[in-house]
């Protein structure tokens, strides 16, 4: 091939290669997307999903660690306090750090204010519920969308939280929850509906909302 032809081929191919190489590697078998994934999902949205996965992972790790530690060191009754104080505090810390809103929601929420899903979250939480059998060990159900609310665009992301044995102490069937835990829950959360869960159920989700500029 003459040198000039090689140069032309390189010039044509280089931008294409750069564009494809730039695409974030977003396919990860651990993550199962629930809902309709737009074919035209932009690179920007994919990057936001990748960032959200990291934030949620970190959020869950911090919360899980604190919860496990207080369950072990102080028992389930004291761990309720950890959950009711630490979870909202951690949500505020992460929201400020990443300039987003992050919180936990559920169709059967215990925290009547922060835990209550909005319309978008309600629909997607029901979707998660319908797909809970997809939850294999170490897999995560996720969903996202760019929404338009009163002429403002938001990136929305949710990742399901599944019920593990640890959760049953405070969210399980009533006769499984220790009496002292039940008493405290009744006192702090008189309208609590977040019980009667079984292992493998979707307990709720971590939700992220980010204003797009």
Give least dist CB 6 to ligand HEC, A: 58
- Answer yes or no whether residue 76 interacts with ligand HEC by CB under 6 A: yes
Window 177 to 196, contacts with ligand HEC (CB under 6 A): 194
- Give the Cα separation of 158 and 35 in Å (integer): 11
Q: Smallest distance, Å, CB 212 to ligand HEC?
A: 26
Query: Which CB atom, from 45 or from 102, has the smaller least distance to ligand HEC?
Result: 102
Q: Give CA–CA dist 89/77, Å, rounded.
A: 19
Give the DSSP H or E segment for 163: none
- Nearest by Cα to 81 from 6, 162, 158, 184: 184
Does position 107 interact with ligand HEC (CB under 6 A)? The reply is no
Could you say whether residue 207 binds ligand HEC (CB under 6 A)? Answer: no
Q: How far apart are CA 158 and CA 146, in angstroms?
A: 12
Secondary structure of 89-136 in HEC code, one letter for each residue: HHHHHHHHHHCCEEEEECCCCCCCCCCCCCHHHHHHHHHHHHCHHHCC
In angstroms, what is the minimal distance from the CB of 19 to ligand HEC?
39
Q: Which of 83, 125, 160, 208 binds ligand HEC (CB under 6 A)?
A: 83
C-beta closer to ligand HEC: residue 86 or 146: 86
Cβ closer to ligand HEC: 48 or 83?
83
Residue 87 contacts ligand HEC per CB under 6 A: yes
Q: What angle do CA 120, 201, 168 make, to 5 degrees?
A: 120
Quick note: the x/- pattern for ligand HEC over 134-173, rule CB under 6 A, is: ---------------------------x-xx-xx-xxx--
CA dihedral of 33, 38, 39, 42, whole degrees rounded to 10: -100
Strands (E) in the chain, as ranges, are 31-33, 101-105, 140-149, 152-162, 202-211
Nearer to ligand HEC, 39 or 73 (CB): 73
β 31-33/152-162 pair status:
unpaired
State the residues that interact with ligand HEC by CB under 6 A. 67, 76, 79-80, 83-84, 87-88, 104-106, 109-111, 114-115, 161, 163-164, 166-167, 169-171, 194, 203-204
């Amino acid at each position: 091939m003459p040198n000039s032809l090689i140069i032309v081929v390189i010039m044509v191919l280089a931008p294409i290669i750069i564009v494809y190489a730039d695409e974030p590697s977003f396919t990860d078998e651990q993550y199962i997307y629930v809902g309709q994934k737009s074919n035209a999902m932009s690179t920007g949205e994919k990057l936001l999903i990748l960032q959200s996965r990291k934030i949620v992972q970190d959020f869950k790790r911090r919360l899980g660690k604190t919860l496990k530690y207080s369950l072990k060191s102080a028992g389930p009754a004291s761990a309720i306090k950890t959950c009711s104080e630490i979870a909202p505090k951690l949500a505020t810390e992460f929201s400020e750090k990443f300039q987003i809103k992050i919180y936990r929601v559920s169709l059967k929420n215990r925290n009547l204010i922060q835990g209550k899903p909005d319309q978008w979250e309600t629909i997607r939480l029901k979707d998660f519920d319908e797909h809970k059998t997809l939850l294999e060990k170490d897999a995560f159900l996720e969903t996202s969308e760019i929404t338009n609310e009163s002429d403002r665009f938001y990136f929305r992301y949710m990742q399901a939280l599944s019920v593990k044995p640890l959760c049953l102490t405070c969210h399980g069937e009533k006769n499984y929850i220790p009496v002292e835990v039940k008493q405290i829950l009744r006192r702090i959360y008189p309208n609590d509906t977040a019980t009667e869960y079984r292992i493998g159920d979707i307990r709720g989700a971590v939700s992220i909302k980010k204003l797009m500029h």
